[in-house]
Structure 1
């Protein structure tokens, strides 16, 4: 017997050709997740930044900050949120530059959340966790592995 296929059988995986040119890039589920989370984080950072700038009362009173005050952190988070909204649009437009900008801005947001975690601890921890997932989703992006 030969190890090849008989006349009535198709070669294994013949129906799924592998694209080696990269022309048919498929969207990864992690990149879609990261894009959605970048937009959600951008909206939330914008809202929380505006609230901090206007000295809203839902932040913890008399919190001690590492570098400055709540108003400064509000401006930082507001700027990060606006950038995240633009990056999210770029991720959905499949722009390579937006992916790497997304990694950078998620890292910056992670540090900002660490610095003002005393003002809003639970939201800060949630944002940090989402930033880690966004970084993972944008860095690990790639085409589906070829079938063996």
Structure 2
């Protein structure tokens, strides 16, 4: 019984594949296109988070507590500008990702990777917040790298 159901599903899937191929369009893997839509939304959210983090560093130096043990490459103003610019770029890349364009996927992976490294360098100042943003960046990178072509075919 299980083998019959499996064979029937495989036949239906192959019929859909060949029907799309005969129509001159690539088959759509609709189950995975949701991951790319999710990655686009997350890029907008991560961008907003990063912009807020940058604005706070620029306008309220006393918000972030730094000690002598905290390693920062820049002063807080430098980090503020870094986060602000990176956040804007990330936020703009999210909607571009929904188009399925290859350049948007490349930019997403690039900006999310740079943001993860920047957050890692900033983790001494904001450990919990930076860790959450790093985790979100990793999920976005995974979604785009593994399922990026699904939206392009859609």
CA contact (8 A) 1:60 1:118 kept: no
Superposed CA deviations along residues 76-98 of structure 1, whole A, max 9, x for unmatched, are: 11111000111011012222211
CA contact (8 A) 1:43 1:85 kept: yes
Find the aligned partners of 2:15 and 2:62 in 1 and give their Cα distance.
Answer: 58
Q: Scaled by the length of structure 2, what TM-score is found?
A: 0.76
CA contact (8 A) 2:28 2:150 kept: no
Identify unmatched segments of 5+ residues in structure 1. 1-10
1:125 aligned partner: 131
The CA RMSD over aligned residues, in Å, is 2.5
Instruction: Describe the shift of the 1:107–1:44 C-alpha distance in structure 2 as closer, same or farther (beyond 3 A).
Output: same
Identify unmatched segments of 5+ residues in structure 2. 1-9
2:16 aligned partner: 17
Find the aligned partners of 1:129 and 1:38 in 2 and give their Cα distance.
Answer: 12
Find the aligned partners of 1:112 and 1:65 in 2 and give their Cα distance.
Answer: 12
Q: Scaled by the length of structure 1, what TM-score is found?
A: 0.79
1:5 aligned partner: none
Instruction: Describe the shift of the 1:12–1:85 C-alpha distance in structure 2 as closer, same or farther (beyond 3 A).
Output: same
Larger Rg: 1
SS at match of 1:99: helix
2:99 aligned with 1:93: yes
Tell me which of 53, 58, 64 is aligned to 1:59.
64
2:90 aligned partner: 84
2:42 aligned with 1:37: yes
1:106 aligned partner: 112
Query: Which stretch has the larger CA shift, 112-121 or 56-65?
Result: 56-65
Find the aligned partners of 1:14 and 1:41 in 2 and give their Cα distance.
Answer: 36
Structure with more helix by fraction: 2
